[in-house]
Structure 1
Amino acid sequence: MPIRRVGRPGLIGLAARTAVVAGTANAVGRGMNNRADRRAQDQYEQQQYAAAQQQAQMQAAAQQAVAQQQAAQQQAAQQAQPAIAAEPAGGGVDLVAELQKLASLQQAGVLSDAEFAAAKAKLLG
């Protein structure tokens, strides 16, 4: 009849218990690391999404500003053209003053080179 020990476990029992504890600790540690990695990845994706949204808003605002600027330039050009066309090309007009007006409109970007040349020819012709 074998003698049975009572009390502390033997060497094999101690090794088995240590293996179970180490395996459990290892599994818990991996689970925590995986969870932390998922959280970091989710946070990174949220930051990238927010940055993309901000970039899209900035591009839309820039496009809107360009459109407003172009509309203002077109409106200024339309207002300047009737004023030039309505003036009579005749003897009572101060040619120097009119040419200076046209030159200032061209420098301001309201008149293109072709429009300036046509208006100048109309005044002088």
Structure 2
Amino acid sequence: MPFIRRVGRPGLIGLAARTAVVAGTATAVSGGMARRQQEKAQEQYEAEQYQAAQQQEAMQQAAAQAAAAQAPAAQAAAPAGAAAPGADLVGELQKLATLQQQGLITPEEFAAAKAKLLGA
């Protein structure tokens, strides 16, 4: 019996084979595209992380430089700060003396307030 070849539509097995080839090709292509997109996203993420690390390092260096620049200024301000409470103490004593002279507080109240200020 000679082999008869059909002309026209393919048989069920041929249709299934063709469908499998098309589906396999589509899967391979879409998988490759997805992988490449994922690689690009990973590269972008790594670049952003690198930039963030660089910015963080620059900010830390600037903070360290600012702290180093302020350290001498803080040491120079410390003696001036020590003089300020003394000046404030004198001002408070003058206020108390004025209140006593005006008769708003008694000498005993003045002495108690003075002792409190000097003791503190």
Name the TM-score class by shorter chain.
Answer: 0.5 to 0.7
> Equivalent residue for 1:3?
4
> Equivalent residue for 2:44?
43
Deviation of 1:29 after TM superposition, in Å, equals 0.7
- Unpaired stretches in structure 1, ≥5 consecutive residues: 81-101, 109-125
**In proportion to residue count, which structure has more helix?**
2
2: distance between equivalents of 1:5 and 1:23? 26
Q: Which is bigger in relative contact order (C-alpha 8 A, separation at least 6)?
A: 1
Deviation of 1:106 after TM superposition, in Å, equals 1.3
Give the counterpart letter for 1:55 in structure 2: Q
2: distance between equivalents of 1:13 and 1:36? 34
1: distance between equivalents of 2:44 and 2:71? 41
> For each residue in 1:33-85, what CA deviation from the matched residue of structure 2 results, as whole angstroms up to 9, or x when unmatched?
101111111111111111111110110000000000113344x37xx9xxxxx
> Equivalent residue for 1:111?
none
For the pair shown, the structure with the greater C-alpha radius of gyration is 2
TM-score, with length taken from structure 1: 0.59
Return closer, same or farther for 1:65/1:11 CA change in 2, 3 Å cut-off: same
> Equivalent residue for 1:85?
none
Give the counterpart letter for 1:62 in structure 2: A
Percent identity of paired positions between Structure 1 and Structure 2: 65
> Equivalent residue for 1:122?
none
2: distance between equivalents of 1:107 and 1:25? 83
Matches within 5 A, 1:56-71: 56-71=57-72
Aligned pair count reads 83
Deviation of 1:13 after TM superposition, in Å, equals 1.1
Deviation of 1:10 after TM superposition, in Å, equals 1.3
Deviation of 1:105 after TM superposition, in Å, equals 4.3
- Unpaired stretches in structure 2, ≥5 consecutive residues: 85-120
Matches within 5 A, 1:1-125: 1-74=2-75, 76=76, 104-106=80-82
TM-score, with length taken from structure 2: 0.61
Give the counterpart letter for 2:38 in structure 1: D
Deviation of 1:107 after TM superposition, in Å, equals 5.2
Q: Residue 6 of structure 1: SS of its match in structure 2?
A: coil
